[in-house]
Structures are given as C-alpha cells and as structure tokens.
Amino acid sequence: MTETTRSVIITGSTSGIGRVLALAFARAGHQVLIHGRSEERARQVAEEVRAEGGTAAWVTGDVSEPGTAAALIQCATERFGGVDVFIANAGVVMMGDFLDYPLDDFQRSIAVNLTGLLLGCQAAARRMVEQGRGGRILTLASVGANHGQFGFTGYGTAKAAVLGLTRVMAVELARHSITVNAISPGPVMNEMLLGVYGEERAALRARTIPLGRLAGPEDVAGMALFLASPAAGYLTGQQFLIDGGATAAGVYSIEVLQRAGG
C-alpha cells in the first residue's frame, strides 16, 4: 500500500449513493471494500470498480448483526492490509405517519441506521487504533436529522442520533488521529428516493431547493472524497449539509408548503 492508496470500506455500497461512492474512491486510486446484503449485486459493483481500474473486494451481511462488522474488518485487513477510511452509508427508509407508525418499522430503522452504524464504526475504529496510523470515519446522516419532516418517525429519529454519535466518536477518537464527520444529504435522486417519493413528489421537492434540483449521488461522493483527503485533516465532529441551499432558505417540507398555499 502506497502513501496515496488507502483501504476504504463503504457499507451499503451495492446501489444508490454507496455504489457511486465506491466508484468515486476507486477512480481516485483507493482500494474499495464493497458491502451489501445481495451477493450478486456486491459482485457486480466489485466488477464495475475493477473495470475502472480499481481494486475491490466484497462482503455481504446485515449491518445490524455484529458478525458483519467483524467480517468487513477481517476482509479489509487480509486483502488490503488494514482500514484507512470507513464510510457508514448503509440505511433503510420506511415512511409512515406518526400516529400509525408500526413498532417493527421503528425498531428496524434504529437497528440498521443507528445500531448498524455503531457496530461498523466501532470495529473500524478499533482496527485503526491498532494500526497506529490514524484514519477517517464518515457517517451518513440526513437533513432529516435537523428538522421535523412528515413520515420520518423512524428515519429522522435514527439520523438525529447518528449526529450525536458522530460527535462523541470525534471527541473520543481524536487522540488516535482519527477524524469523524457526518455528511447530511437532502433528497438525493436515486432508486430509493423514487421508491419512497414517486416521480411527482420528487419533482415537487426539487422546487423547494434554491439550486433548483435534487442532489445527485456524485454530490455526496465529492464531499466524501474531500473529507477523506489530507485537505480535511483538521476537520472532525462536523456535519456537512448537501442540500442545495434548502437549510439556508428554511425550506424543508413539501407538505408544510402545500398547507400554506405555497
């Protein structure tokens, strides 16, 4: 492993934002460990990475199970010589009105979006400490962690907790030269968003964003590459919003705008 080549683990990287992250880090010359629940899709993304000239391996499993985090670290250590960057991207979105929100959906949201993130970051941080060369941990939160949004009972709660955990990790791991930062995207145009919103609602949501469009996965990847780079070495415990100016404008919800006649 050269000074410019890093070992990068990206959870939930078989589709959506995670897949684009994997390809972006591969193009930047890093070794990438793909993760997802589907073996077929994990293998496919690994092949895409290799087609770009990158180095890839893959691990499957549910991030809410402790064994998955252990398998990720073991694979990265055996194949790439360790772990330099860990990106906790895996997540699930289960929308529903608060008054009728199923307990099972809430518990699953917490298990994947929060507990799974904890397990992965903890395992990666332990390995980074053992290596003694520092490291970077990136968590994927959401603008939904900062503002109440319709239907976000499980997701918004979990992502708000991710911000708290990110700050705790940043403080505790700083003495080991490990930085921890959160990336909080607004709505990102991908299969997951279309499945949750539908095309009409996605178009309405774009109208609430000052830049006039939804984010693309590449917008998130650009921030992740920066935060993993030497240029971001003094940044830790921060949240970086990828929202096209929506927070600055104070616009968060289609439903609130519709009720106000906007």
Tens of pLDDT, residue by residue over 182-194, are: 999 988 887 777 7
Average of per-residue pLDDT values in the chain: 92
pLDDT value for 30:
96
Q: Could you tell me the residue ranges of all domains in the chain?
A: 7-259
Kindly report the pTM of this predicted structure. 0.92
Which residues are within 8 A (CB) of 229 and not within 5 positions of it... i.e. 6 or more apart?
none
Tokens coding 16: 């959506």
Do residues 72 and 35 lie in contact, with contact meaning Cβ atoms separated by under 8 Å? yes
What amino acid positions are annotated as catalytic residues?
142, 155, 159
Which residues are within 8 A (CB) of 17 and not within 5 positions of it... i.e. 6 or more apart?
89, 140, 185, 188, 190, 217, 220, 221
CA 135 to chain centre: 17
What's the rounded mean pLDDT across residues 129-138? 98
pLDDT digits (tens, 9 = 90+) for 195-236: 777 777 778 888 888 998 999 999 999 999 999 999 999 999
Q: Phi and psi at residue 185, in whole multiples of 5°?
A: -75, 150
Confidence of residue 2 (pLDDT cuts 50, 70, 90): very low
Task: Please state which architecture CATH assigns to domain 7-259.
Answer: 3-Layer(aba) Sandwich (3.40)
